[in-house]
Amino acid sequence: MRKLASYVADAWVEGEGPTTTLFNPATEEPVAETSTTGLDFAGAVGHARKVGGPALRELGFRGRGELLRQMAKAIHGGREELIALAIENGGNTRSDAKFDIDGASATLAAYADWAEGLPEGNLLLDGDGVQVGRTARLHGQHVMTPRRGVAVHVNAFNFPAWGLAEKAAVAILAGMPVISKPATATALVAHGLVQLFVDQKILPAGALSLVCGGAGDLLSHLDGQDVLAFTGSSATAQKLRAGEGVIARSVRINVEADSLNAAVLGPDVSPGSDSERLFVRDVVRDMTQKAGQKCTAIRRVFVPADRLDEIGEALAAELEPIVVGNPGSDGVRVGPLATAAQLRDVTAGIARLAEETDALFGGTGSVQPKDVPEGNGYFVGPVLRLSRDPAAARALHDHEVFGPVSTVAPYGGSAEEAGALVRRGGGSLVCSLYSDDRDFLASMVGELAAASGRLYLGSAKVADQSPGPGTVLPMLMHGGPGRAGGGEELGGLPGLRLYLQRTALQGDKSFIKFITE
């Protein structure tokens, strides 16, 4: 069987002892095994800091932007092989795989473009200078420079390509070497990506390492110049935040965690309108793309009470013809969940929702997938539930079911009521609002901006060009308060701040101008 090595200190290294097996989630056949036991994580961190950091800083922002351009091209060149790995190990349909892999290359390319407008060196100005003394001579200016540590990236199983690339693009452009740890269960694609970069000798020594398997004692070696960027469940986030280094040595940490994203249909949206079609398309796409395993997927759908039955029927009608099955087969739109553990969690989550909701479509998700022998694979069909009393519901607002599952619920039609229901989610990555009424949208922004990382305003004017709320764009911030982890990633060049140290220079204006111009 294929053995996945980790890439640390510029060498492919296999761990010792017992291995973890990676599976094909459609057939349950093993596809690879990996271990990180015995890997020298202290050495890996030291090598990245001592070799990778200086090599990246030597290149300056523009030179590092060129690296990102080459990484994007390498992914594009290896696209077909990566898609095959995503189908095999991720249960992705071809379309799901492209979403992940093309998202990876597009994010790298976007940061490569923005790098062209940055200075040659390693110093960025932050805002304008300011007079701080009695006369203009005593001056102050904030600047930002690369932190002199390593960026450790711990990623979730659902986006092995995009997750690695979006974090690496920003850290490398900022000037920090990266140690990336994909989720073990779906590490094949991340391994494929790094193999492309290594084989094509794109990055300087020490700039990028890959850990395929458990993190071992990796995080215990981090200190105050390092950055830990985590994407995954709130439960794991809590453990990492409580890590000794994070607390005792002030390791900078960014967390992207769970989110019970909502969609709200405005009271003005009429049946058959462009805005309603956009709303139905977005909800169905988010339930089915990547089998609903997207952190940005719509989990709660709030509609005006007088339209509840009609909207439920419209969504069910769109879900009806969708084929669940082997992700490699023609016509299949929903593949399996990524792992057996995911199947257990999603099945249990549906049962929890079923205690307080009615079935609208798909029952509890039991399905006979196309082109899969009976009893094989981690499949759940799309499930739409109906909550008639969302104010009294608990699991609806508290429990993220990370699969093709969503719940429709009524609200009275006011922005205040919809806002209060959405906020029950405790902070989310994205909330989508569908309306052509500017006053309603303005009220909803007032209700929800503080509880949301992104507010997606779906209206007839953008219906023909909107990628939907589930697509994370490099120019817009990704993250959210509260349950969503409280983190911020991407959002164009401001995303670099996570990996830069901000410093106030205070002194003679001519000296400061000499240093910064």
Please give the Cα distance from 171 to 49 (Å, whole number): 13
Question: With binding defined as CB under 6 A, does residue 287 bind ligand NAP?
Answer: no
The answer to whether the beta carbons of residues 34 and 19 sit under 8 Å apart is yes
Question: With binding defined as CB under 6 A, does residue 154 bind ligand NAP?
Answer: yes
At closest approach, how far in Å is the CB of 57 from ligand NAP?
27
Our CB check for ligand NAP shows the closer of 146 and 232 to be 232
Residue with the shortest CB distance to ligand NAP: 232
Please give the Cα distance from 120 to 123 (Å, whole number): 9
Instruction: Number of residues interacting with ligand NAP: please give it, by CB under 6 A.
Output: 27
Task: Single out the residue of 14, 226, 400, 488 in contact with ligand NAP (rule: CB under 6 A).
Answer: 400
The reply to whether 488 belongs to the active site is: no
- Using the Cα atoms of residue 197, residue 338, residue 242 and residue 220 in order, give the sign of their dihedral: negative
Question: With binding defined as CB under 6 A, does residue 96 bind ligand NAP?
Answer: no
Question: With binding defined as CB under 6 A, does residue 156 bind ligand NAP?
Answer: yes
The residue among 155, 192, 180 whose CA lies nearest residue 77 is: 192
The reply to whether 256 belongs to the active site is: yes
Our CB check for ligand NAP shows the closer of 226 and 258 to be 258
Our CB check for ligand NAP shows the closer of 339 and 435 to be 339
Please give the Cα distance from 383 to 322 (Å, whole number): 12
Give me the catalytic one of 14, 88, 166, 295. Answer: 295
Task: Single out the residue of 95, 233, 364, 471 in contact with ligand NAP (rule: CB under 6 A).
Answer: 233
At closest approach, how far in Å is the CB of 425 from ligand NAP?
12
Question: With binding defined as CB under 6 A, does residue 295 bind ligand NAP?
Answer: yes
Question: With binding defined as CB under 6 A, does residue 155 bind ligand NAP?
Answer: yes
Question: With binding defined as CB under 6 A, does residue 429 bind ligand NAP?
Answer: yes
Question: With binding defined as CB under 6 A, does residue 258 bind ligand NAP?
Answer: yes
Burial status of residue 88 (CB atoms within 10 A of its CB: 0-12, 13-18, 19 or more): buried
At closest approach, how far in Å is the CB of 47 from ligand NAP?
20
- Bridge partner residues of 180 (DSSP): 153, 210
Alpha helices in 124-186 (DSSP H): 160-174
Question: With binding defined as CB under 6 A, does residue 344 bind ligand NAP?
Answer: no
The C-alpha angle with vertex 364 and arms to 339 and 232, in degrees rounded to 5, equals 35
Question: With binding defined as CB under 6 A, does residue 239 bind ligand NAP?
Answer: yes
**Both ends of the chain: CA-CA distance in Å?**
57
- Paired tokens of 422: 């959405």
Question: With binding defined as CB under 6 A, does residue 402 bind ligand NAP?
Answer: yes
Question: With binding defined as CB under 6 A, does residue 222 bind ligand NAP?
Answer: no
CA distances from 175 to 121, 194, 230, 293 (A): 10, 18, 19, 32
Task: Single out the residue of 236, 273, 466, 471 in contact with ligand NAP (rule: CB under 6 A).
Answer: 236
| Cβ-based neighbour number of residue 347 at 10 Å | 18
Burial 230-252 (b: 16+ CB within 10 A, else e): bbbbbeebeebbebebbeeeebb
User: Could you give the 3-state DSSP secondary structure of residue 456?
Assistant: strand
Stretch that binds ligand NAP, among 87-95, 102-110, 182-190, 315-323 (CB under 6 A): 182-190
At closest approach, how far in Å is the CB of 254 from ligand NAP?
10
At closest approach, how far in Å is the CB of 312 from ligand NAP?
25
Task: Single out the residue of 231, 288, 347, 452 in contact with ligand NAP (rule: CB under 6 A).
Answer: 231
Question: With binding defined as CB under 6 A, does residue 486 bind ligand NAP?
Answer: no
Question: With binding defined as CB under 6 A, does residue 158 bind ligand NAP?
Answer: yes
Burial 359-384 (b: 16+ CB within 10 A, else e): ebbbebbebebeebeeebbbbbbbbb
Which H or E element spans position 113? helix 94-115
The answer to whether the beta carbons of residues 51 and 206 sit under 8 Å apart is yes
Task: Single out the residue of 24, 89, 184, 275 in contact with ligand NAP (rule: CB under 6 A).
Answer: 184
Q: Which residue has the tokens 């390092």?
A: 226
Tell me the catalytic residues: 256, 295
**Residues within the interface to ligand NAP (CB under 6 A):** 154-158, 181, 183-185, 214-215, 219, 231-233, 236, 239, 256-259, 295, 400, 402, 429, 484-485
